């Protein structure tokens, strides 16, 4: 997980070599294999190198192509090297870096070059001929890119902390983002917790000149796209081939690879597919190393049964990490430092513990199963679609089979999955408005300070976007799938995972976020996503003879919430008592302290809470505000 940095003085000032070095050094944890900078007049680029692929061992960044007048810095893995080599007339060999393919793509296609790239990337190219900086981020947002822009300066970095090296970059809290965080609103992709510091949205490019700027979206799912094949077998073969290629591309490495194995459908599919691919390559040295968190003392979260179904086979070297006796706030100061911002993830401490083990075992890459539910789709609203198209027999059969697999009551499923989604939009809007009023005026769980929501304008956002617009987006099964693919939380999750892995000099790779797999899964018929009562049907049936049947056809999975619920009080009662008090001066501007104290006291007395997520968010916000206050005083 390399790092990129850059400065462009739009007002013509010259960049001091010491300044770009200082910015670059701030991200040294991301690149233990080399640190380089390039400076010319008002422009400077930096790079921290983490070797991962065989090609990266020969890579020198920033790279200056004097003949073309182009300089590039990049954190990238390009998966369509073979196709690009033919288009660009480049010999596809090990001493040709992925960043060189990007540079030559820009030379040929200009600002349209991201459209021709497959893989995970964030890069910046200084074009001497046109005196502009061209930046781009990959289709799904795997590689991060943060920036600050004014009339005088443009500065970018892989992590926010490096931007503050420059005195002109402000360090003020973005209170609108604080409100969205506490309301768990994911729809804005560019805002950060700092005013005027932005995240470049996935699938966007950014062009900065001395007197102009341009942000462009270069890719999105075609909402009208449909793939029609002759038979179910054709769909199965196509999915299996695309998924296999998505995994195979991410196996390109000069170092050992670790696989995060939770026992769920997604991570197990990745591990089993990788094992088959490596076996077919007759590569005995490439044993699959799996890392699994286990919870002996918290059976509600433990997936050991399913994990063992995968690892008890030839070709897998398994590692089990005991994770049930770790405080949720253990080493939280260091996690907040590496994340730069408050985060939602309740398993940060146990994830870090796993990455620490991987680093000790010299793993440079981790491959996981993030995104499977959203990319392949649970087929939400499919039953509603059957109802409105009068396919009654098929509808009844699907509800019956769903009831049989899930052990849920037939009538309840009919109500939740068919009748409620059939309520007209206008009536839904009315009911939502009533629910909103109840939530804000009668229930004692609206944790935001009402004055705060009015001042920053988030109150209207909560009412209009957080509820109504999302329901409108998800009216049909296809629209719901589109929303799940394009929603912000993917980008947030990917950025979070990137930063925590980077703290251990490890690169994250995500097969389910492969552009080809995303486009295929969206475009196939809805009954390939939901069939015979099974969500994600195409995935399950395609894994026949690859996955253990107990995982292939399991209906549900376990989550980390029971771990937080138990360990939060056991390990952190003192700090929680400090945070959830009526005189918390750091929080009183943002939080209704009376309400949050009542929620906490109920949790403390029962060790259960419907609002556990809110308690966690407030805790992380408090610790971040505390750190931010100290940081601001010393800057």
Nearest Cα neighbor of 245 from 398, 145, 118 is: 118
Nearest Cα neighbor of 571 from 619, 511, 507 is: 619
* Angle (deg, nearest 10), helices 81-88 and 98-109: 40
Out of 252-256, 282-286, 502-506, pick the least confident.
Answer: 282-286
CA dist., res. 60 & res. 121, Å (int): 16
Cα angle, residue 419 at apex, residues 413 and 425 outer, rounded to 5°: 135
CB 527 within 8 A of CB 541: no
Whether 466 has a pLDDT exceeding 60, the answer reads no
pLDDT at 240: 98
222: exposed, middle or buried (Cβ count in 10 Å: 0-12, 13-18, 19+): exposed
pLDDT at 399: 87
Q: Residue 502, Cβ neighbours under 10 Å: how many?
A: 26
What Rg value do the Cα atoms of the chain yield, rounded?
A: 25
Would you list the domain boundaries of the chain? Answer: 3-217, 232-375+487-552, 380-484, 561-633
Assigned fold of 3-217: 3.60.20
Pick 34 or 399 by higher pLDDT: 34
**Nearest 10 degrees: CA dihedral of 596, 602, 604, 609?**
-80
State pLDDT tens for residues 502-543.
Answer: 999 999 999 999 999 999 999 999 999 999 999 999 999 999
pLDDT at 315: 86
Residue 624: pLDDT band by 50, 70, 90 thresholds?
very high
Share of the chain above pLDDT 70, in %: 91
Class of the CATH domain delimited by 232-375+487-552: alpha beta
State pLDDT tens for residues 170-191.
Answer: 999 999 999 989 988 887 889 9
Share of the chain above pLDDT 90, in %: 75
pLDDT at 583: 81
State pLDDT tens for residues 404-462.
Answer: 888 888 888 888 888 777 777 666 555 555 555 555 444 445 788 888 877 666 555 55
The token pair that represents 100 in the structure block: 């060189």
Per-residue H/E/C for 228-261? CCCCHHHHHHHHHHHHHHHHHHCCCCCCCEEEEC
pLDDT at 609: 83
pLDDT at 460: 57
Out of 247-256, 277-286, 593-602, pick the least confident.
Answer: 277-286
CA 169 to centroid of chain Cα atoms: 26
- The mean predicted confidence, pLDDT, of the chain is 91
pLDDT at 101: 98
Q: What is the mean pLDDT of residues 53-72?
A: 96
Specify the 3-state DSSP secondary structure of 227: coil
* Angle (deg, nearest 10), helices 348-360 and 488-502: 40
Whether 631 has a pLDDT exceeding 80, the answer reads no
């Amino acid at each position: 997980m390399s790092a990129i940095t850059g400065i462009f003085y739009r007002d013509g000032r010259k960049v001091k070599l010491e300044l770009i070095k200082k910015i670059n050094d701030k991200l040294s944890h991301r690149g233990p294999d080399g640190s380089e900078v390039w400076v010319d007049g008002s422009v400077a680029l930096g790079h921290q190198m983490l070797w991962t692929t065989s090609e990266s061992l020969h890579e020198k960044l920033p790279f200056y192509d004097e003949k073309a007048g182009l300089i590039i810095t990049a954190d990238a893995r390009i998966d369509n090297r073979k196709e690009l080599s033919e288009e660009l007339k480049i010999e596809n060999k090990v001493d040709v870096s992925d960043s060189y393919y990007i540079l030559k793509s820009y030379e040929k296609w200009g600002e349209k070059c991201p459209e021709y790239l497959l893989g995970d990337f964030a890069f910046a190219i200084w074009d001497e001929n046109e005196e502009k900086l061209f930046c781009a981020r990959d289709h799904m947002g795997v590689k991060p890119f943060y920036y600050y822009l004014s009339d005088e300066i443009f500065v970018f970095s892989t992590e926010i902390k490096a931007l503050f090296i420059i005195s002109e970059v402000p360090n003020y809290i973005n209170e609108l983002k604080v409100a969205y965080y506490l309301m768990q609103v994911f729809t804005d992709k560019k805002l950060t917790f700092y005013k005027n510091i932005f995240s470049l949205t996935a699938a966007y490019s950014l062009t900065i000149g001395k007197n102009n700027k341009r942000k462009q979206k270069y890719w999105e799912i075609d909402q009208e796209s449909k793939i029609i094949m002759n038979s179910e077998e054709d769909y199965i073969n196509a999915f299996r081939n695309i998924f296999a290629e998505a995994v195979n591309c991410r196996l390109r490495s000069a170092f050992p690879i670790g696989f995060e194995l939770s026992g769920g459908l997604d991570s197990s599919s990745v591990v089993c597919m990788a094992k088959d691919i490596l076996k077919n390559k007759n590569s005995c040295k490439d044993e699959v190393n799996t890392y699994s968190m286990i919870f002996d003392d918290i059976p509600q979260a433990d997936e050991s049964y399913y994990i063992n179904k995968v690892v008890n086979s030839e070709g897998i070297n398994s590692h089990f990490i005991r994770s049930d006796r770790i405080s949720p706030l253990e080493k939280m100061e260091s996690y907040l430092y590496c994340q730069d911002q408050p985060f939602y993830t309740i398993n940060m401490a146990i994830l870090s513990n796993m990455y620490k083990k991987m680093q000790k075992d010299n793993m440079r890459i981790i491959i996981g199963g993030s995104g499977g539910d959203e990319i392949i789709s649970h087929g939400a609203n499919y039953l509603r679609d059957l109802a409105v198209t009068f396919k009654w027999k098929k509808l009844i059969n699907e509800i019956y089979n769903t009831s049989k697999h899930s052990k849920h009551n037939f009538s309840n499923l009919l109500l939740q999955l068919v009748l409620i989604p059939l309520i007209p939009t206008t009536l839904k809007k009315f009911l939502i408005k009533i629910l909103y009023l109840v939530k804000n005026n009668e229930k004692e769980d609206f944790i935001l300070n009402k004055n705060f929501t009015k001042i920053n304008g988030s109150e209207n956002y909560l009412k209009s976007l957080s509820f109504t617009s999302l329901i409108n987006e998800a009216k049909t099964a296809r629209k719901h799938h589109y929303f799940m693919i394009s929603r912000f939380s993917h980008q947030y999750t990917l950025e979070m995972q990137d930063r925590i892995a980077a703290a251990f000099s490890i690169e994250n790779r995500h097969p389910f976020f492969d552009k080809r797999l995303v486009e295929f899964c969206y475009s196939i018929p809805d009954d390939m996503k939901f069939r015979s009562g099974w969500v994600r049907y195409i995935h399950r049936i395609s894994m026949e003879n690859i996955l253990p049947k107990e995982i292939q056809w399991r209906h549900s999975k376990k989550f980390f919430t029971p771990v937080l619920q138990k360990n939060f009080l056991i390990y952190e009662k003192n700090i929680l008592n400090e945070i959830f008090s009526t005189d918390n001066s750091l929080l009183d501007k943002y939080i209704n302290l009376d309400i949050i104290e009542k929620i906490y006291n109920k949790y403390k007395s029962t060790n259960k809470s419907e609002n556990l997520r809110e308690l966690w968010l407030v805790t992380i916000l408090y610790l971040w505000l505390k750190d931010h206050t100290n940081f601001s005083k010393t800057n």
